[in-house]
Amino acid sequence: MTLRLTHTAKTYPDGTEALLPTDLSVGKGEIVSLLGPSGCGKTTLLRIIAGLETPDAGSDIWFDDDNVTALPVERRQVGMVFQSYALFPNMSVRANIGYGLKMQRLPKSEIDARVTEVLEMCQLQPFAARAITALSGGQRQRVALARAIAPRPRLLLLDEPLSALDASLREILRDELAVLLREFDITAIFVTHDQDEAMAIADRVAVMSHGRIVQSGTPEDLYRNPTSSFVAGFVGNAMPLRGKADGTKLHLNGGTLTLPMDGVGQTVFVRAEDVQIIKNGPLRGKVETVTFLGTHYRIGISGIASDTIASIHSGQVAPKVGDTINVSIKPETLMLLPDEADVA
Amino acid sequence: MLKSKIKMLQLAVTLLACAFLFVPIVLSVMAGLTVNYFQGISSGLTLKWVFQVWDLYAGSIFLSMWLAVACLFCTLIIGLPAAYGLARHPGWMSRLLEEFISLPLAIPGLALALALLQLYGSMKGFRASWTFILVGHVLYTLPFMVRSILAVLASMDLKTLEEGAASLGASPWQRFRDIVVPNAMPGILAGALTVVTLSIGEFNLTWMLHTPYLKTLPVGLADSYASMRLEIASAYTLVFFILIVPLLMAMQWASARAQRITQ
């Protein structure tokens, strides 16, 4: 199914504009992630698509050629995975998964067959008869997904489905979810505040800020070609190098950097992996922090720009805290973006 | 040594308190089972008085049971949707409404009964029927039902659970039937037992509202103490105990269970 939103907005009775007029199209089978900090409107947008929130007048939501704007959630045929999973504590795993099918008034034999099929897909057979309270967080997450997918919805909506899990489990389930969603071959929208999650799961990421979609593209595209300081900072944690630009030279506290183009009126960003510690580098700074992360060190360097600059250092030995080091940054790795008054 | 002395003292106080509470009950029960109370146990034990109570007051016993069931029915019909509404729309309005429903707890039953008599006393058919007493009982027991269900509903994320059911195609009625009611069950059960126990034991209101043809169990008890020999009144107390104690125990059990769920 393709989803099309035109001019969709949400203003709360108290005047809060949770979502500014937004257009969004999601192609058949595409997995789109809505990524942004909390309060950016991503969950509001998801709830409007689900039918759990009424958009402002003038908004239009299309599922293929059906205008569903006025349809209540129970008639939109969407599958939804909630942040808290919202599993029914009064039902077993099997009954939870079968509930949507029961609502479609399917014959009992068919419900059984389809629940069994979904249980297998999500590797939940051993837990079919269990009570919800007897499941671990990861198992609950899978039941929530199975329950949403069992009625074969037109569109799958996931609201921060991994945020209730602890970090180690989150990473495993993230990859598992990416595989499952593709196996289901379903159009899906996935809300998250975690850029790694969005990158790992989605075909396309829509970055949101202050009630707007600020940039939408493939994960690679967003990472390499952000169009705003916000996206650069939020996706991949690019760091601003604030200094005085003079044509293609940028004068920083710790030295002068060559820019790939005229830097006047632009903010220059760099990512930690592009900051290289080299003996004869043009920039000088002082090591503030050294964090060993297994495959590499993350080194915080002060004195180069106004903020501490991080560097990913993959050598066997790291400099020590307090050392003065030289740093080089290749001009082609720098990102020049228009100055923004509001950098969230 | 000192420790054991304190222990002994504690034990003595506890036993004394128990005796203070139990001795009158035991005496009363015994009075209902002895042939002649003034001669004491030596006159022999008998169930004669109990049977006599049954002959005299079976109507009261059945009326009380019928009233309790009807009262339970009414408080469920009103209380469940009310608790659901209050749980789904939390806010100062709901708080106010909840307090308003609870008002009959703070007002003496006597005053409630007088108000009912003033307003409806002139409606002859209604005044003389059992439904008049029922209205009083419902007024008095409704807050217990509402609060009991509300406590359980407030302890879960009802809104999201319902949204989950809605996203799976459940209509508002199906959501209420499949999600709200089953999950509220511990609260409903605790509330139901409270309502039945209170309705059977209610005296204040009922005393004011009853007619000579409509005596409930506690009203009959007062009547028997006032107009029958002590043995019959005591046997009546025994019958009352037998009816109310199992209900009371079931109520304790259900409330404890509901409380576990809300934590």
Task: Write out the residue range of the structural domain in which residue A326 sits.
Answer: 241-338
Please name the member of A80, A88, A89 whose beta carbon is closest to the beta carbon of B167: A80
Establish, for the pair of chains A and B, how many residue pairs have beta carbons separated by less than 8 Å. 63
The pLDDT of residue B254 is above 90 = no
Same-domain status, A12 and A128 = yes
Cα distance from N-terminal residue to C-terminal residue, chain A: 34
CATH of the domain at A43: 3.40.50.300
pLDDT at A344: 42
CB contact under 8 A, A103 and B179: no
Q: How many helices (H) and strands (E) does chain B have?
A: 12, 0
CB contact under 8 A, B164 and A88: yes
Among chain B residues, the shortest Cα distance to A148 is held by B168
**Which pLDDT tens digit goes with each residue over A253-300?**
888 888 888 888 888 999 999 999 988 888 999 999 999 988 899 999
The pLDDT of residue B74 is above 70 = yes
pLDDT at A30: 95
What is the three-class DSSP state of A165?
Answer: coil
Please tell me which residue, A206 or A339, carries the higher pLDDT value: A206
The pLDDT of residue B253 is above 50 = yes
Helix pair angle (B230-262, B130-154), 10° resolution:
30
Same-domain status, A221 and A150 = yes
Nearest chain A CA: its distance from B180 CA (Å)? 10
Alpha carbon separation from A298 to A233, A273, A317 (Å, rounded): 18, 9, 12
Same-domain status, A202 and A322 = no
Q: How many domains does chain A have?
A: 2
Please name the member of A72, A73, A84 whose beta carbon is closest to the beta carbon of B157: A84
pLDDT range class, residue B1, cuts 50, 70, 90: low
Same-domain status, A254 and A132 = no
Same-domain status, A156 and A247 = no
Same-domain status, A202 and A271 = no
Nearest chain A CA: its distance from B263 CA (Å)? 14
pLDDT range class, residue B263, cuts 50, 70, 90: low
A343 inside domain: no
* Interface residue A75 vs chain B (CB under 8 A): yes
Same-domain status, A216 and A68 = yes
> How is residue B131 written in tokens?
């439904």
Q: How many CA atoms lie within 13 A of A51 on its CB side?
A: 25
Among A223-227, B12-16, B26-30, B93-97, the range of highest mean pLDDT = B12-16
* Interface residue B169 vs chain A (CB under 8 A): yes
∠ CA B121-B122-B128, rounded to 5° = 60
CB contact under 8 A, A100 and B160: no
* Interface residue B250 vs chain A (CB under 8 A): no
Same-domain status, A332 and A284 = yes
CB contact under 8 A, B166 and A52: yes
Using a CB-CB cut-off of 8 Å, the residues of chain A touching B161 are 86, 88
pLDDT at B127: 86
pLDDT range class, residue B262, cuts 50, 70, 90: low
pLDDT at A111: 96
Please name the member of A80, A90, A151 whose beta carbon is closest to the beta carbon of B183: A90
The ranges assigned to domains in chain B are 53-262
| Rounded Cα distance, A31 and A177, in Å | 11
The pLDDT of residue B260 is above 80 = no
Using a CB-CB cut-off of 8 Å, the residues of chain B touching A89 are 156, 183
Which of 173-192 (B) contact A at CB < 8 A? Answer: 174, 178-179, 182-183, 185
DSSP one-letter string for B147-165: HHHHHHHHTS-HHHHHHHH
SS (H, E, C) B217-253: HHHHHHHHHHHCCHHHHHHHHHHHHHHHHHHHHHHHH
**Which pLDDT tens digit goes with each residue over A208-236?**
999 999 999 999 999 989 999 899 989 88
Please tell me which residue, B161 or A317, carries the higher pLDDT value: B161
CB contact under 8 A, B167 and A79: yes
* Interface residue A90 vs chain B (CB under 8 A): yes
Nearest to A112 by CA among A126, A95, A129: A95
Same-domain status, A132 and A274 = no
A222 inside domain: yes
CB contact under 8 A, B168 and A87: no
pLDDT range class, residue A343, cuts 50, 70, 90: very low
Using a CB-CB cut-off of 8 Å, the residues of chain B touching A74 are 166-171
Among chain A residues, the shortest Cα distance to B163 is held by A52
* Interface residue A103 vs chain B (CB under 8 A): yes
Using a CB-CB cut-off of 8 Å, the residues of chain A touching B156 are 89
pLDDT at B57: 84
Q: If you average pLDDT over every residue of chain B, what do you get?
A: 89
Q: If you average pLDDT over every residue of chain A, what do you get?
A: 91
Alpha carbon separation from B167 to A18, A72, A144, B163, B180 (Å, rounded): 22, 9, 12, 6, 15
The pLDDT of residue B261 is above 80 = no
Q: How many CA atoms lie within 13 A of A106 on its CB side?
A: 18
Among chain B residues, the shortest Cα distance to A101 is held by B168
pLDDT at B199: 94
pLDDT at A341: 56
CB contact under 8 A, B163 and A52: yes
Cβ–Cβ under 8 Å, residues A40 and A210: yes
| Rounded Cα distance, A211 and A195, in Å | 18
* Interface residue A71 vs chain B (CB under 8 A): no
CB contact under 8 A, B170 and A103: yes
What is the CATH class of B53-262? Answer: mainly alpha
Least confident of A101-110, A148-157, A251-260: A251-260
Same-domain status, A95 and A193 = yes
Which of 156-175 (A) contact B at CB < 8 A? Answer: 157
CATH of the domain at A319: 2.40.50.140
Same-domain status, A183 and A116 = yes
A293 inside domain: yes
pLDDT at A93: 96
